[in-house]
Structure 1
Amino acid sequence: MNSSSLRQYLRSMNSRHIPPRQGRQGFWDKLLAGFLIAFSPIGVYYAASDNYRNNSNFTTTLVVTGIFGLVVLIAAEGLSRPPHNGPHEFVKQDEKKGKRDEDERVLVCLGDSLTHGACSANWVDDVGPYLTQQLQNKDKTTVKVNVVNAGQNSICTHTVLHEKVYDVVACQPDYIFIMIGTNDAMAIYRDDWAQERMHTWSLTEQPTEDVLIRNLTDTVKSLLDTTTANIAIATLPPFGENIDSDSNKIIQSINCRIKTLEYLFLGEIRNTRRETGRVSVIDVNSALWAEIIRQRSSHNITKTTHSIDKFLPYAIVMGMLHCVFGLSWNLVTRLLTGNAVLSESLHLNENGGCIVTNEVVKWLMDKMM
């Protein structure tokens, strides 16, 4: 796509752009929920009888409930805050700056909460510094890579295809890293999670393995046609650290199909105008399992039994400990689940985030050399 046609595409894209959203649970819903949680004790206070109101136990309960509500509100705000280096912020700064330098590159990381980095380790922010270090080791000190975080909590492949693709194209990226499908896999694993995802994101069909692969394939096709970027597709991280669990059997099946996409696109590329070798598959899943096995060997642990079915209550507690009290994801993982790379068996702790960062930088270095 030449520069004039790209500008024309971006103008048409802006006219149909859909701003980022949080499903049906937007800012005002979250604010209202926070007020209800934090200030409901006031209503209880006025509803109580005079005798009970003077009871010291009642007063203590009232204060503790109010404090807990405020803590929950602070944690909810911290976990849902958009990335500071999101696509919209980047495009605004890029437009102000004008023409990019010759040695300037743009990487967009596209995904869900594991990429967003609020309720999971923020590996995206580590890519830039680590890549710069690796480039210096190769005497490529003039190359500058801007890293854009296009991750969003809770989204499925449907939302990526129909909304987030436009955000990515607006950044005019040189490299795109895609790690999406975890929420689809959750919906495949449990029907109640499927219904929740369909309601929250107004999905037109229930997520299945076929739907996931189709949406992911169409997303890559769209990005190949509307950008000149090299694209990496990541295999999905594990669902808990028990490789024999039913949830991980679903992940293994999905990842087997993701791995074939690189060859599928190579076959299509030979018969189209697309350049050869622009699509790669990065096996993040295998890299994470290697680290799990390494840590188990060094600590004499045979298997972690913590299941992804229990992730939600653990996620709430871990989110409060991280956002309100500043504890690292590694620390809360050790305290509550004992996992190696997955905090509550779904999201990444710093150990897991470091693995993803390393895989992304290895791919970038291979493309740049």
Structure 2
Amino acid sequence: MFPSPAMLFLYPLIYTFSGICFLVFVVYQYLVRKLRFHRPKNFPYKGQVPNPAAKGKKAVVCIGDSITHGNVSANYVDMLERWMGEDFFFYNAGVNSDLTYTVLDRLEAIIAAQPDFVTLLIGTNDVNATVSKASLKKYYQFHKITPGALPDFESFQQNYVEIVRQLKTQTKAQIAVLSLPVMGENLQNEANLKADVYSEFIKTLAANEQVTYLPVRERMKDFLKSHPKKLSYEYKDTIKLMYLSVIKHELLGQNWDKIGLSHGMDLTQDNLHFNTRGAAMIASLVEKWLKQ
């Protein structure tokens, strides 16, 4: 029995649709693994002895989230390695979507690396989790927050103090804490206003604990204030922009600077992650501190 003309017409469409669905599934799985499970070069794993490549160099551990991890943005740790790699060995202890909660959970591995210097850039996701229910749901799904726990300014303060004090008492490292980078280029959005408060706490803590404070936020805000422009996207577009940026980078081969320009942004490409200019602002502050 021969298929009808209608079925002969539909077969190619069915195969094409099935192929597209399979391709979308493969791409989605790849992006999920890249965002959730990938770890950066020279990541300090639990139970790992200090990296042999660090021998004869000062060891620096850069602690943070995706901004430090650097696989969905320009990588400021890689910049530091290029600039200062002859004298310093850089551990990249950045993990995508991390909050202060999860940094505390993996602090043992960081301490075991026996660093001479530590930088701490964490809190963007703590703020982001308080801005929208969709963001909060994502952190629960990614197991970044214990079910039932509700991130707020008080929990951030407690976690941050504990991180700094453990680093002070369990390592001999010199410590620098960094204010939070801008969260979108509209400095008056809810996330940025909250990040101002969180960063002021970090600055006060640095003085009280006698550790170095690096004004990342202040530097970025000064730049944006001196380069005002009409923005094409608001902070509510962040999740959409983040996935769009990763697709443009991974599938179309566009660099983060080009993506940021296409979204009408000067420092970021998706409100949270940074292009070369934004990453260099972070790296240059760390570089100056290490040289001192």
So what's the TM-score if we normalise by structure 2? 0.88
Deviation at 1:324, TM superposition (A): 2.8
Q: Secondary structure at the match of 1:54?
A: helix
Q: Secondary structure at the match of 2:162?
A: helix
Question: What are the equivalent positions in structure 2 for 1:170-189 lying under 5 Å apart?
Answer: 170-189=112-131
Residue aligning to 1:191: 133
Deviation at 1:64, TM superposition (A): 2.7
Distance 2:8 2:168 in 1: 68
Deviates more, 1:50-59 or 1:152-161: 50-59
Deviation at 1:117, TM superposition (A): 0.8
Q: Secondary structure at the match of 1:236?
A: coil
When the two structures are aligned, how many residues end up with a matched partner? 284
Residue aligning to 1:19: none
CA contact (8 A) 1:74 1:324 kept: no
Structure 1 position 128 matched with structure 2 position 81? yes
Question: What are the equivalent positions in structure 2 for 1:294-313 lying under 5 Å apart?
Answer: 294=226, 296=227, 301-313=228-240
Structure 1 position 239 matched with structure 2 position 183? yes
Deviation at 1:307, TM superposition (A): 1.9
Residue aligning to 1:105: 58
CA contact (8 A) 2:111 2:171 kept: yes
Deviation at 1:184, TM superposition (A): 0.7
Q: Comparing both structures, which one devotes a greater share of its residues to helix?
A: 1
Residue aligning to 1:155: 98
Deviations 1:60-100 (A, max 9, x none): 33333333333333333334421121113994563x67x94
Higher gyration radius (CA):
1
Distance 2:64 2:94 in 1: 4
CA contact (8 A) 1:198 1:205 kept: no
CA contact (8 A) 1:109 1:151 kept: yes
Distance 1:177 1:90 in 2: 21
Distance 1:191 1:62 in 2: 34
* Cα distance change of structure 1 residues 93 and 364 upon mapping to structure 2, 3 Å threshold: closer
So what's the TM-score if we normalise by structure 1? 0.71
Residue aligning to 2:3: none
Question: What are the equivalent positions in structure 2 for 1:213-362 lying under 5 Å apart?
Answer: 213-266=157-210, 279-294=211-226, 296=227, 301-335=228-262, 337-362=263-288
CA contact (8 A) 1:78 1:323 kept: no
Question: What are the equivalent positions in structure 2 for 1:59-78 lying under 5 Å apart?
Answer: 59-78=15-34
Distance 1:88 1:52 in 2: 56
Deviation at 1:340, TM superposition (A): 0.7
Distance 2:26 2:196 in 1: 40
Residue aligning to 2:43: 86
Q: Secondary structure at the match of 2:176?
A: strand
1:166 to 100, 108, 111: 108
Specify every segment of 5 or more residues in structure 2 that has no aligned partner in the other structure, as ranges: 1-5
* Cα distance change of structure 1 residues 198 and 76 upon mapping to structure 2, 3 Å threshold: closer
Residue aligning to 1:51: 7
Return the letter of the residue paired with 2:255. S
CA contact (8 A) 1:124 1:147 kept: yes
Distance 2:8 2:246 in 1: 35
CA contact (8 A) 1:107 1:175 kept: yes
Q: Secondary structure at the match of 1:214?
A: helix
Deviations 1:175-233 (A, max 9, x none): 00000011110112223423442452342631111111111111000000000001111
Deviation at 1:52, TM superposition (A): 7.5
Q: Percent of aligned positions with the same letter in both sequences? A: 25
Return the letter of the residue paired with 1:54. L
Deviation at 1:345, TM superposition (A): 0.6
CA contact (8 A) 2:39 2:95 kept: yes
* C-alpha RMSD of matched pairs (Å): 2.4
Deviates more, 1:243-252 or 1:172-181: 243-252
